[in-house]
Amino acid sequence: MIAFRSMTEKEYPDFLNYFISDYADEIQTNYRLSPADSFERASKEISDTLSQGPATPGHVLLCLLDKRDQNVRHVGYLWYKPDTTLGSVFIYDFHIFNACQGTGLGKQTLHAFEEHLREKGFKEMRLRVAGDNARARHIYESCGFQITGINMNKTL
């Protein structure tokens, strides 16, 4: 069983270490920036977006917990922004720790999150996934997400 718990201030630096590195890699790959420029851009964007860390108004940062056995394990992160007017949430980041991947936790988490949102009256989940992230696309599509657009660029 997957459970959700609010991220604490103490856990936030570990999330930042993972997120900034991962996001910088995506920026470097997709926008052809240098590693240093990609890291700087990722750091600035998260600092601007989550200006108050896990207490930033309008954003929800969760720790994902695997409660399948007696030992509760922290297995990942989920960051989203609810829009109660539209009845939707936008998932900014969803990550299962590398050591826990390939065990079905990704799909279990998405199904549990979907049920959690339904209980709160939400009607839609949205997200963006990098075009070259086939593994993530497979998980999202197998959980019922549909492609709604395609980002494109051209280097001049």
Q: Please state the rounded mean pLDDT for residues 40-53.
A: 97
Over residues 91-97, mean pLDDT: 96
Q: Which residue has the higher pLDDT, 32 or 83?
A: 83
The SS3 assignment for 112 reads: helix
Distance CA 95, CA 22 (A): 10
Instruction: Answer yes or no: is pLDDT of 121 > 80.
Output: yes
Q: What are residue 5's DSSP bridge partners? A: 63
Percentage with pLDDT > 90 across the chain:
79
- Please report the pLDDT score of residue 124 as a whole number: 96
Local structure of residue 71 (DSSP, 8 states): S
Is the separation of the CB atoms in 22 and 98 below 8 Å?
A: no
- In order of their start, the domains of the chain are 2-142 (3.40.630.30)
| pLDDT at res. 13 | 97
